[in-house]
A and B are shown apart, each in its own frame.
Chain A
Amino acid sequence: MYADTLPSTAPPPRGKSLTAARAQHVVKAYGSGATRVVALDAVDVAIERGQFTAIMGPSGSGKSTLMHCLAGLDTVTSGQIWVDDVEITSLPERRLTELRRDRVGFVFQAFNLLPTLNVMENITLPMDIAGRKPDAGWIAEVVETVGLTGRLKHRPGQLSGGQQQRVAVARALAARPAIVFGDEPTGNLDSRAGAEVLSFLRTSVDTLGQTIVMVTHDPVAASYADRVLYLADGRVVGDMYGPTADNVLERMKQFDGRGRAS
């Protein structure tokens, strides 16, 4: 398939492999017998460190399921997943929670923030939960990067949708996770706010060396990524480096056509 053939843009941290997350023969099926639905059908994927990867595919292609499995939010039926060199499919629930807390960051489409906490508290939430002291310098840098300085005491309700998503990005980055997962992070935003959030993600990859995986159905969003993985019917059906909005769109049409033809 397409795994392990990619050029690396940044050297991996010492003692770590080149991949931030890896799926091997991952199957996710619901139900059994005649009603068995396969959401992921023996997927092999490697997410490289320091890269911005987009996962695309039509509705029901399994792209969200793949992300949830990679992020340790969902369990797999069979196969193995490594996140930051930890095999997570066999981890007990408690360890999985800790892994999400300490090594993974999330940006969801909506409802990313706790309304009772202010911006700063939301950003440091994962570390607060862990009982760790956040690295003040780093937090300041992240906050600065996403342009939230001056709004730290605001409650989420006082922010616009775009600002809220930026807070979510800041939170995802704050704990210096090995990997950040975005589940259609710009899905609810207008194009300007969306562009802002995406460029922050891009910046964090370029200047902070952050690894990001993002599920999207928006070719423009995907064009911010280094690489686009295409899923259809629970399988990886395409892999594109250096995408532009146009060729992503072109590729999507192709798959759609093929999907309809088959």
Chain B
Amino acid sequence: MTMLKTSLRNLLAHKGRMLLSVIAVLISVSFVSGTLFYSDTANSDARSASRTGLPDVAVALASKDGGSQPLTVSSEDVQRLKEVTDAARAVGRVTTESVSFITASHQVLNASGRPVTATTWDSVSRNAPVVSKGRAPRDASDAVLDTETAAAGDVEIGDTLRVVGPFGTSVVEITGFTGVDEGQTPPSAVYLQPRTAQRTLLGDTGRYTHIALTAAPGTTPEQLAQRVKEFAERPYETKTVNEAAEERRETLAGGVAVMKYVLLGFAGLSLLVGAFLIVNTFSMLVAQRTREVGLLRAVGASRRQIGRAVLFEAVFLGATGSLMGVAVGLGLAVILLEATGTESAVVVRPGTLLLSLGVGIIVTAGSAYLPARRASRVSPMAALRDHGISEGDAHGRGRAWIGGLLTAAGAASLVGAGLAERSEPGAILLALGVVVTLIGFIIWTPVLARLLIRLVSLAVLRPFGAVGRLAERNALRDPRRTGATAAALLIGLSLVTGLSVTGSSMVASVEEQLDNSTGTDFVIEPPTGQLINAEAERAVKSVDGLKTVTDRKRLTVTLVTPGGKKTRSSLIAADTSYLRDLHVATVAGRMTDAYGVGGMSVDENFAKKHGLDVGSALQVGLAEGVTTQLTVKAVTVESPFDRGAMYTGLPNLLNSVPAGQVPANDAMYATAEDGQAARAYSGLKKELAAYPHIRVRDISDYKKSMQDQVSEVLTMVYGLLALAIVVAALGVVNTLALSVAERSREVGLLRAVGMSRVQIRRMIRLESVVVSVFGALIGVGLGLAWGVTSHELLALSGFELLDVSWETIATVMTGSVLVGLLAALVPGRRASGMDILTAIKKD
């Protein structure tokens, strides 16, 4: 009880010193709990994904050959299946995500990032959608959509909507909204009349993409599905309502899960960094209290009591920080939910609360464990000694060995990754190397501190004379403390550096490729998974000033190699002009031959894997029931564009596949007549204004949007890493502040023998800067090693240029100096403001 009281009194006496530790715990825990609250809430949304529109069993044809067109069934198939399976109802449906909806205000309709599906209106199957406002569609030009999507796109009843599908464009009028039960997430869908859907989405009337079966009373969906499978006439595949609902839930939760793990990863990082801060705090408090602990031991406190008292302080501190962190985390969750457009109230599960508190408390207590053990080993004699204990073997041999070995192992793993010939084992080695070198360096920093801090001091502190020397000695005084402070900083900075090298190398490589291997002036692309339908294609081709226009179609094909192996792959069939739009280097053969009659190309890796060479003949399933023989005429080099693609000339496709099964263009390329580039660009933009989902870019815009994409990702990641860096900066402040308090007598002495306040401040500032720069140096070095290794791996995929973003590295180094300067502000002011006499007299 007495010990407990001592602990509490200590906490209160040192609450200033604990402040930064509490803040570190608070920041980390708020991030952990915020992420968990957010994902709980988003998941509960996902869990209650509505079953609206899901029939008991959905039946579609299983594809056995290649082809890019959905396989369809006829009205007779629907009828036949109903009879064979004894279903209560069978409804033919057309459903696709390969469609864009353009609102009256020329906006592309989307449901907070989720694609909007087009599907046929079916009010008779089980789980049929219900119109909650307005009326159901009656005419071919009527359509309804769900309330949430309507709200997201500002669509009102009576508005028109353009439906741009692979086979054409329809204009429909919105006659009503469908709704789902409160608390459920509706499928974002626009419901069309069958004829409209068939014309626009399939290009063929009387056909359906799948059949919705409703089970008769007494039959479960599973039984019904079994009957479909037993029906051998057609190769049907089934999906029961439960399977489909699970799929929906997973889709909804999938994005959340990825985000959750990414955010938790960053939260974990800042927690790790915070742990360093806490270790330092407790080490220093224990060191300061040595005499007091010695006295307690002398009057009979046991080792266990001492250790427990310190741990109790840690638990108390962890609990305080965690509680506040959870409160802040709630706020963060609300912000996250708002940002992602989820409008549900935050779900607070007791498990999440406990987990967040537990993580905070355990990490704090765990960090304080070693200092607590050290405190328990203080001998009663310490009470009699004048000065505090030394903090043990700070640069112990064991540490040097373990750190060195881990670093060596990590480095070996990185080298292995750099030398890897294939991406997957390389990536695993890279990840392993990153983690192991990071841990190695964290263990190693105190050992490195002696060497590096001297070097940094040589470079930086020389002009500062005695003040500089004192700063250096202070930084070196306790290498473990300095090491932990710098290690906290190096975690965030090494990741920033590594990612910046990776990112800028990717951008530089792609830019170089764009410069060297593209001859096209304009790139015309619809969103992923969608196509440029015939109308849009005509619009492109009608533009004046274009010299060439390339049709490019992407097919999923089945390939049978000479060895009889069957695989699926993606095949690009394009006009010959595509060869000039995008130069593809070859290992063997010529691309013009690959585009010739009966020719094709395969990429290096595929050729190696299947033992193919120029002259090998492949059986290619181009569409359902259409197989043709193509001969390999060229083997291509891996490039960042059309990764791993195989090419063939468009005529090879058009000559063997019936017109109805030829897919629309997945992209188009165009070159302008000499001097007509500007006119052609504006012409393309104007003609495609009616298709806002299709992007037209010239090469410089294309480059820019690619840079933007990469820098957007990097900015986000840097933003999240900033969290860890802020906590690390707090660690620098913390270490400085505590050591200034610890060294108040020294400061007093320095002042007495004539050091000015300005010099005292400078001394603290220089120490702070040296420690920060030390951390940054290791961080940048480590990050460069990671970045270069990851570049070696990227080079395997054709990203061959290494680009070290020196600006980022300069920013990191300048930033670390700034962190050092800022961190020294308060401790420096406190030290310089210290009263000489009290500083000297204090014992």
Cβ-defined contact, A108 with B840, below 8 A: yes
**In the complex, what residues of A have CB within 8 A of residue B465's CB?**
128, 131
CB distance from B469 to the nearest CB of A (A): 7
CB distance from B371 to the nearest CB of A (A): 21
Cβ-defined contact, B749 with A121, below 8 A: no
**In the complex, what residues of B have CB within 8 A of residue A130's CB?**
754
**In the complex, what residues of A have CB within 8 A of residue B474's CB?**
116
Cα-based distance from A184 to B257 in the complex (angstroms) = 70
**Listed stretches A8-16, A44-52, A79-87, A92-100; interface member:** A92-100
**In the complex, what residues of A have CB within 8 A of residue B469's CB?**
117, 121, 128
Cα-based distance from A171 to B840 in the complex (angstroms) = 17
Cβ-defined contact, B466 with A111, below 8 A: no
Interface footprint category on A? 20 to 34
Interface residues in B461-490 by Cβ distance below 8 A to A read 465-467, 469-470, 473-474, 476-477
Cβ-defined contact, B750 with A114, below 8 A: yes
Q: A6 contacts the other chain (Cβ, under 8 Å)?
A: no
**In the complex, what residues of A have CB within 8 A of residue B759's CB?**
129
Q: A101 contacts the other chain (Cβ, under 8 Å)?
A: yes
Cβ-defined contact, A102 with B750, below 8 A: no
Cβ-defined contact, A117 with B754, below 8 A: no
Cβ-defined contact, A106 with B837, below 8 A: no
**In the complex, what residues of A have CB within 8 A of residue B752's CB?**
73, 100, 106, 108
Type the 1/0 row for B742-762, where 1 means its CB is closer than 8 Å to any CB of A: 000110011111111101000
CB distance from B388 to the nearest CB of A (A): 11
Tally of A-B Cβ pairs under 8 angstroms: 71
Cβ-defined contact, A97 with B749, below 8 A: no
Cβ-defined contact, A97 with B473, below 8 A: no
Q: B386 contacts the other chain (Cβ, under 8 Å)?
A: yes
Cα-based distance from A98 to B838 in the complex (angstroms) = 20
Cβ-defined contact, A110 with B754, below 8 A: no
Among B466, B754, B757, residue most surrounded by chain A Cβ atoms (within 10 Å): B754
Cβ-defined contact, A129 with B467, below 8 A: yes
Cα-based distance from A139 to B803 in the complex (angstroms) = 56
Cβ-defined contact, A126 with B754, below 8 A: yes
Q: A176 contacts the other chain (Cβ, under 8 Å)?
A: no
Q: Which residue of B470, B745, B753, B836 is within 8 Å of A126 (Cβ)?
A: B753
**In the complex, what residues of A have CB within 8 A of residue B756's CB?**
94, 97-98
**In the complex, what residues of B have CB within 8 A of residue A97's CB?**
751, 754-757
CB distance from B28 to the nearest CB of A (A): 33
Cα-based distance from A129 to B759 in the complex (angstroms) = 8
Cβ-defined contact, B466 with A125, below 8 A: yes
Cα-based distance from A129 to B757 in the complex (angstroms) = 12
When A73-B836, A74-B837 are in contact, do A117 and B473 touch as well, CB less than 8 Å? Answer: yes
Q: A151 contacts the other chain (Cβ, under 8 Å)?
A: no
Cα-based distance from A129 to B754 in the complex (angstroms) = 7
Q: Which residue of A74, A102, A114, A121 is within 8 Å of B754 (Cβ)?
A: A102
Q: A68 contacts the other chain (Cβ, under 8 Å)?
A: yes
Interface residues in B621-672 by Cβ distance below 8 A to A read none
- Name which residue of chain B comes closest to A99, CB basis: B754
Cα-based distance from A104 to B753 in the complex (angstroms) = 8
Type the 1/0 row for B386-404, where 1 means its CB is closer than 8 Å to any CB of A: 1000000000000000000
CB distance from A164 to the nearest CB of B (A): 11
CB distance from A113 to the nearest CB of B (A): 8
CB distance from B470 to the nearest CB of A (A): 7
Type the 1/0 row for A144-175, where 1 means its CB is closer than 8 Å to any CB of B: 00000000000000000000000000010000
Q: A61 contacts the other chain (Cβ, under 8 Å)?
A: no
- Name which residue of chain A comes closest to B467, CB basis: A129
Cβ-defined contact, A111 with B753, below 8 A: no
Q: Which residue of A68, A113, A129 is within 8 Å of B466 (Cβ)?
A: A129
- Contacts A97-B751, A102-B754 aside, 10 further interface pairs with beta carbons under 8 A come to A94-B756, A97-B756, A98-B756, A106-B752, A114-B746, A114-B750, A116-B473, A116-B474, A128-B466, A129-B754
Interchain residue pairs with CB less than 8 A apart (24)? A68-B837, A73-B752, A73-B840, A74-B837, A93-B757, A94-B756, A98-B756, A100-B753, A102-B754, A106-B753, A111-B746, A114-B746, A114-B749, A115-B477, A116-B470, A116-B474, A121-B469, A126-B754, A128-B466, A129-B753, A129-B754, A131-B465, A131-B466, A171-B753
Q: Which 9 pairs across A and B sit closest by C-beta, in order of nearness?
A: A101-B754, A128-B466, A116-B473, A100-B754, A97-B756, A126-B753, A129-B755, A111-B745, A126-B754
> Which residues of A come within 8 Å of B, CB atoms?
68, 73-74, 93-94, 97-98, 100-102, 104, 106, 108, 110-117, 121, 125-126, 128-131, 171
